[in-house]
Structure 1
Amino acid sequence: MLNKIILLILLISSLFSETLEVKNITFTTENDSDFRGDNDYTYGSEISILFYRKDLNNSLLHIPFTDYKLQDNYISFSYAHQIYTPEDLKNQNLILNDRPYAGYMYFKSGLYQSYNKTLKSLVFQLGMLGPSTNMDRVQEVIHANIGSDVPEGWDNQLKNELVIQINYGYKEYMELSNKSVFIPEYGFELGNASTKVFVAGLYRWGDIPKDYGSTQIDNTNANKIPLDPNRQYKNAWSYCLNLSFKANLIARDIFLDGNTFLDSHNVDKNIFVAEVGYGVSVNYGHLSIDYLRKHLSHQFKTQNRIPNYGSLVISYNF
């Protein structure tokens, strides 16, 4: 499956080889099992490719109501999948006070415009939720191979549903000193998987790369969008520390509210969810590796644990 996804992305890039310039290829994997057992958002992975757009004649590839000719324009293509489970994986019955099992896979394409250390993002997401994703089988195989408990409640997962999302974000790169940067962000998500508004911020300290930072799966922005598309990479080590926060006001979360059009299990979600994160970035030449750890406030009323998970982001920059 992964080979087919990579071939599809390469095919897309070859069709536009004269107008697109590859800027980075990124692989991200996320898991909660490094600190505790699997539950809540338990696993995700994504592969993405970011292009710099040299041809600006196609008006369909611009963010509306922006002066694209004055800006550096990028486009990304991504494939991702995610797994959500309740806390008790051995229970075959429906667990009424815990979140439903859910498997989700999607394709994503984003338009990005950078100008004067600001970044606008408009992301389109088309995906599928439910048994047709085979995420139950993916988790069962992984757990069997690592000797972990095989989840037994996937018969209660959310039903098949086509997902359509439009997400918007705005970032600003603010240099506080030659060793520290603050990147505030705000935006919204609109669709049958997620409808919310958010504000966020990222503080970086150290040898800071000249980009808008790394992001976790299913966030609005792409990874490692440079401030300057002609940025040069030196064969030298650099490191920086990252601290982040995010505040979400949520109208809909399909992984808690259940299916949109069909009857399914759901829980009573919290409409306000806060997030804090920390991590480190390591760079050498064209290669960058980021580890990010995120902790969230309770996402629904009967949630026992504070959810948290880690993200490993590996990028090769051109």
Structure 2
Amino acid sequence: MPRNVPSVSRPRPRLLLAGLLSATFFAPLANAESLYSLKVTNDLFSSSDDGHYTSGVDLMRIATPEADHWSRRLAEWLPGWTANGMDAIGYQLSHQIYTPKAIERRELIEDDRPYAGLLLGGLSLFDDVQHDGWREASMLNLQFGMVGPIAGGEPLQNGVHKVLDSDKPRGWDHQLENEPIVNLGWNKSWWLQNRWAGLEWEYGPSASWQVGNLYDYLGTGGAIRFGDGLDKSFGIPSVTPALSGRQGFSANRGFGWYGFVGVEGRYMAHNLLLDGNTFEDSHSVDRREWVGDVTAGAVVSFDRWQLAFTNVWRSHEFEAQEEADHFGSITLSTWL
């Protein structure tokens, strides 16, 4: 019997996964318009370093579902939520790349974080309640996807570095193994509203948690927004693993802008990207349980477009980490 039998062409697993996540992102909603956002996160936006959370790309879609949409029936079933009270539903596609600092080394770098590619889909429910002089913003988020070679972190980073003529990452042989991801997160913010020095102000505390095989944590913090036209916008941008709640703006409301500063502290009980694979042996480092973020940035919107820039300073996430991380993100949003 011939040994070299032509193989039948089959779709690559990562293409099947990407197709499943895309189907979630483009799921049917109401006939009304949706808010689409593209967020790009990279350490090069804020420093010359290349490592740790080195890059991320997020596509987001937010819309108001019709009265008979399945998401409203789901909200009615959830504790603390109601079908009529839910304001919006969101879908998200996300790809993230994590590496150690010395990407030019081929050998395993035991005292720096593992290489990891992460491909995720997300579904979020939003509820924003306006009270007299303050508002309450809630979010429930479900994420699912894969970490490991199937997420395509190695070819994507190699391709980008080849185009930019920068150092080739040589340690991807030590990346985390394939593992499915399921994570549930919750975030609530309480925004006090005021006007001072000719500007509109929102400020207040927040609380959050996540549970799953990607992250397990409890978080708390607070933020301040100040500018003009705050009533047409929602929340502040953030960078994973932090949950920012609903982000975006109302269409056709003219020009608006705001600056923001936020802080969050998290007790990290589990971080797969540092602790290593759940069911297989893999590279890991000694995770720190307490991690803090300081976030600052600015947002500008006009009619149907919004542009946001965010800087994040993050404390050490693992014991052997030599210095805190600093990275930034740019988000472009529009109503379609």
**TM-score normalized by the length of structure 2:** 0.85
CA drift at 1:6? 9.8
1:226-268 residue CA offsets vs partner (Å, 9 max, x unmatched) = 6xxxx563333x3221111110100000111011111111111
Structure 1: gaps (5+ residues): none
Q: Is the 8 A contact 1:76 1:222 kept in 2?
A: no
- Structure number, greater radius of gyration: 2
CA drift at 1:29? 0.3
Over 3 Å counting, the alpha-carbon distance change for 1:6 and 1:162 in structure 2 is: closer
Output aligned runs, 1:132-211, within 5 Å.
132-177=150-195, 178-210=199-231, 211=233
1:234 alignment counterpart: 253
Q: Is the 8 A contact 2:288 2:319 kept in 1?
A: yes
Measure the CA separation in 2 of the matches of 1:300 and 1:282: 35
Return the match for 1:33 from 24, 44, 47.
44
Output aligned runs, 1:241-260, within 5 Å.
241-260=259-278
Over 3 Å counting, the alpha-carbon distance change for 1:99 and 1:10 in structure 2 is: closer
1:98 alignment counterpart: 112
Output aligned runs, 1:65-144, within 5 Å.
65-69=79-83, 71-116=85-130, 117-144=135-162
Q: Is the 8 A contact 1:215 1:221 kept in 2?
A: yes
Matched residue of 2:35: which SS? strand
Measure the CA separation in 2 of the matches of 1:255 and 1:78: 20
CA drift at 1:179? 1.9
Matched residue of 1:12: which SS? coil
Determine whether 1:263 maps to 2:285. Answer: no
Determine whether 1:214 maps to 2:236. Answer: yes
Q: Is the 8 A contact 1:106 1:126 kept in 2?
A: yes
What's the % identity of the aligned pairs?
23
CA drift at 1:141? 0.6
Matched residue of 1:277: which SS? strand
Measure the CA separation in 2 of the matches of 1:304 and 1:279: 26
Task: Kindly tell me the number of residue pairs found equivalent between the two proteins.
Answer: 308
Q: Is the 8 A contact 2:226 2:258 kept in 1?
A: yes
Measure the CA separation in 2 of the matches of 1:189 and 1:11: 25
Over 3 Å counting, the alpha-carbon distance change for 1:79 and 1:309 in structure 2 is: same
Measure the CA separation in 2 of the matches of 1:7 and 1:67: 27
2:4 alignment counterpart: none
**TM-score normalized by the length of structure 1:** 0.89
Measure the CA separation in 2 of the matches of 1:67 and 1:128: 29
Return the match for 1:54 from 53, 66, 71.
66
Over 3 Å counting, the alpha-carbon distance change for 1:119 and 1:145 in structure 2 is: same
Over 3 Å counting, the alpha-carbon distance change for 1:114 and 1:62 in structure 2 is: farther
CA drift at 1:172? 1.9
Matched residue of 2:158: which SS? helix
